[in-house]
Amino acid sequence: MSAPGWIGATADAAPEDPDNAAVNRYGGCLASQKAGDLLILVDESGSLKGTDPQAARVEAAKYLVKTLAGYADRTSSKLDVAIAGFAEGYSVRQDWTPLTGASADSVNSRLQTLAGRNSGADTDYWLALDGARQSLTDHAQGNPHRCQAIAWFSDGKIDFSQRAGSRPYAPDVDLGSPAGITEMIQRATDSICRPGGMADQLRSAHIVMLGVGLGDQAATRDFDVMSAIATGTGPGGTKCGGILDPKPGAFYQVSNIDQMLLAFDALNPTPRFVDSKPVCHQNVCQEARHNFVVDRSVKSVNILGSGGMPGIVPYLISPSGQQLQLPNKGHQVDASLEGIAVSYQWQSESAQTISIHGGNSPKWPGQWAIVYVDTTGQHPDAVSRVAIHITTDIFPTVNQNPNSPWRAGQVMRGVTFGLVDEQGKPIDPNGLAGEAAMSAVLAVDGAAPIKVLDSVSKNEIGKPVDIDLTNVKPGAASVRMSLVITTAPAPNAPGTQLSPQQVDKPIQILPRLGLPAPGERIDFGTVQGTEQATTQLQITGPGCVWIANGERPTIRTAPDGVATVDVTSTATGPGNCLNLDDGQKAGLPVTLHTDHEGHGGLNGTVPIHIASKDDPSQVQTVDVAFTASMVKALSTTNFVLVLLAALLLGPGIPLVLLYAAKWYVSRIPGAPMLAQRIPVEVDADVVLRDGAPFEMADTDLINPVPGLAGGARTLLVEGVELSVVTGRSPFGVGHVKVNAAGYVSAGSEIPSTDASGLQAVLPITVHGTWVVLHDPRGAPNKAEVLLMVPGQSNVAQRRERYEDIDRRLPETLTMLRHRAVDDGLAHPVDGDDPRVATPFAVATTAEAGDDPFADAQLDHSPFKPFGGGA
């Protein structure tokens, strides 16, 4: 519920529905792939204490989560959601989680923790977007068709507080002066919005951006850059990026929770239409009706509406004219109108969600309406606004013959289109109660779309059509379909035309028959530093394939400062090409090299030469996309210089600078990492996994840990939070504290816990370590082990970690259980003997005279200028 001060003077300021082509494209992708990702990215800066004291941003995000969970359940889509915050850095608050109706409450409980995260010093768009890019790239696992979107919320422009320090995108700029802050803002903006910069790196990965800016009309200029990042152009004319077609995203400027709800509602893939009307004075009136007509093909209607003011109440009106008042009860209400199920809940003092399910009731078809009535009589100028989602779950589709691939240079004859339901089962278009119009284009990378269908009626949808590919180049393409349904008319009203239901179907256009077919994309994965990266491009014969010496790739996006980019192969010409027989598959070796290291997304195309096996003179060039996620190695140069100066000059260096240097370099390194959380139990000193001896499974360690780009001070790994602690000493490096709610824990290294003996600590480089997690309320022989390994580790190296766990875990768990009993967290059972000596070290509080370089000694000193201490 929002505070009274949240509602604006009138509802006239409600945001207009922007061009939603981008978010509709995300919905079209989900409808096709039945899988996708949504990252909820939320500002955590200190200004939120004044702009959003009631955490309306959290309530709006919860609404979005519940809406998408319902969509995922209804359409059997696999939708993953993650939550991240940003201020002076990027922090994962909820790792990737499958979103369903059953998991929505758990996700929303994590969202609720954001309500208190409003003390950040900066609003750093660059680090926020880079973290989001890395999280989404890692989770996509090389799938170029993964549907991905960011719901991005902020209450202000790029800004920094004045203090010593720099940023990875501007290491030569110091934030210790007003001039430094101004320069940093400009450098961040330039790096994001230059052609090929951070904004384009997101767009080239087909990540859709929905930006929501919290501020009144006076703050519009503050959102010029944010809007430009999301859409390409800001309201003040700021241009951002070079990839503007298709439109990259949408932006809403909002000033209250009702507008925020409507903005987040745009990501609901179910087609919607938005309507505004006046409100009635004390009684239901004709001029304020938001009308919509349903027929027997409509399954349900979901409405997000607002009267704009407290005291304005919605009424639902059935086709027969019966009315149902929907007053605020403070909780979800289940009701009925003429036997038709209605449920509703007020989301704020003036906004509601309303669901209507008609089933097979004969009273369902006809014209319905939602009407807002000012019961106080004090808001004559109020405006009501609704977003109405009419659910048919009818989708357009193209029928593909797997034995007849689409090939460049020919005409695809007899291609048929049709309609399917949410489970992919065919629907007869002529069986629809209302009308339908279907359009389709073939969208080919780098070329104008080819029109295939142009608003054909329902009785024409299934007729075969020819698609001319004679002038189309081989490569990635998609069939973009749009279905507009108009419900059957009511006795006294025309049918309601629904917004288009889009579906984007990826298509690979192969070379002409007799030429080898390259794969769709070259994916180098994560590349650290300036090391060369090598991978393979899958080729299907027959024919000869090579990358010519001296030919440079076309670069679409690149990190700052990488300079020259080369993509080469050992197959350099017809004389030493990769030669394949008909149907044979093999990998073409491909190597990536850059002059300098960088941090960000590198994307472009590589000219691949293909020739016929029988006639090598028949050569064709195919531009194949390539991608790499570049990560800069964490530099400790600044810290080393400060440390040497301290040793040479002693008290000549202010202590605060030493602490600042230590804080700056104390990060979990940004190198790629894989993690696995495994339930185990111990039986007679033998570690068991699912009742069998503990060993590595084939499905283990396949998920990259997101949020590591550039290093991290806070990291969520398989639901366990790792936090960097700098400690009391100004020298050395920090360590990592393990936070797992409801568990006691111990790490694999020495010291393994803090002074309590119940909370694990790890070295700053957590790659290659493991943690035992034990629920003290549970069985004494059961635990979970969190294993983290370097992303580049091989199978043999990973097995060594499993063997280490198998050897050491029983004793570690025994001692951890004893400590929990000693501390009163667990009840003693047979076999619990607290007198057994500890086999692993415990960090203790540093006493006077301790080695100041011994950072493993965790302190409890009140002097923690950079958040150090346990």
Instruction: Give DSSP secondary structure letters for 448-501.
Output: PPEEEEEEEETTTTTS-EEEE-TTPPSEEEEEEEEEEEEPPPBTTBPPPBPPPE
Q: Regarding beta strands 686-689 and 585-594, do their DSSP bridges make them parallel or antiparallel, or are they unpaired?
A: unpaired
Domain 395-509 matching CATH 2.60.40.10: the answer reads no
**pLDDT score recorded for residue 119:** 87
In CATH, the architecture of 273-391 is Sandwich (2.60)
Q: Regarding beta strands 578-580 and 565-568, do their DSSP bridges make them parallel or antiparallel, or are they unpaired?
A: unpaired
Give the start-to-end residue ranges of the domains of the chain: 23-267, 273-391, 395-509, 517-631, 666-822
67-76, 244-253, 848-857 — which is least confidently predicted?
A: 848-857
Confidence of residue 374 (pLDDT cuts 50, 70, 90): very high
Q: Regarding beta strands 585-594 and 533-540, do their DSSP bridges make them parallel or antiparallel, or are they unpaired?
A: antiparallel
Tokens 């940093």, residue?
184
Sign of CA dihedral 764, 767, 768, 773: positive
pLDDT tens digits, 175-202: 999 999 999 999 999 999 999 999 999 9
**pLDDT score recorded for residue 511:** 95
Confidence of residue 849 (pLDDT cuts 50, 70, 90): very low
Tokens 């020298």, residue?
731
The Cα–Cα gap between 58 and 533 comes to: 41
**pLDDT score recorded for residue 756:** 82
**Whether residue 675 has pLDDT greater than 70:** yes
- CATH superfamily ID and name for 23-267: von Willebrand factor, type A domain (3.40.50.410)
- 624 token code pair: 């194949």
**Whether residue 305 has pLDDT greater than 50:** yes
175-179, 672-676, 749-753 — which is least confidently predicted?
A: 749-753
Contact yes or no for 111/58 (Cβ under 8 A): yes
**pLDDT score recorded for residue 831:** 46
pLDDT tens digits, 32-71: 999 999 999 999 999 999 999 999 999 999 999 999 999 9
The Cα–Cα gap between 843 and 314 comes to: 61
What average pLDDT score do residues 661-672 get?
69
**pLDDT score recorded for residue 531:** 63
Strand partners, 566: 593
Q: What percent of the chain is modeled with pLDDT above 70?
A: 88
Give the CA count within 13 Å in the CB-facing half-sphere of 553. 26
Higher-pLDDT residue of 667, 574: 574
**Whether residue 311 has pLDDT greater than 90:** yes
What average pLDDT score do residues 626-631 get?
90
- 5 token code pair: 């001060």
The Cα–Cα gap between 372 and 284 comes to: 8
Higher-pLDDT residue of 321, 713: 321
The Cα–Cα gap between 761 and 772 comes to: 11
What's this model's pTM, rounded to 2 decimal places? 0.74
Contact yes or no for 713/724 (Cβ under 8 A): yes
Confidence of residue 699 (pLDDT cuts 50, 70, 90): confident
pLDDT tens digits, 792-831: 888 888 988 999 999 899 989 988 988 888 888 887 765 4
Q: What percent of the chain is modeled with pLDDT above 90?
A: 66
**Same fold for the pair 273-391 and 395-509:** no
> 517-631 sits in which CATH class?
mainly beta
Coil vs helix vs strand at 629 = strand
**pLDDT score recorded for residue 735:** 85
Contact yes or no for 147/24 (Cβ under 8 A): no
Contact yes or no for 673/95 (Cβ under 8 A): no
Instruction: Give DSSP secondary structure letters for 125-154.
Output: HHHHHHHHHHHHHHHHTT-TT-EEEEEEEE
Mean of pLDDT over the chain:
86
pLDDT tens digits, 426-465: 999 999 999 999 999 999 876 788 999 999 999 999 999 9
- 194 token code pair: 């230059």
What average pLDDT score do residues 711-719 get?
87
Q: Name residues whose C-beta falls within 8 Å of residue 260's C-beta, 6 or more positions apart in sequence.
A: 56, 57, 60, 212, 214, 254
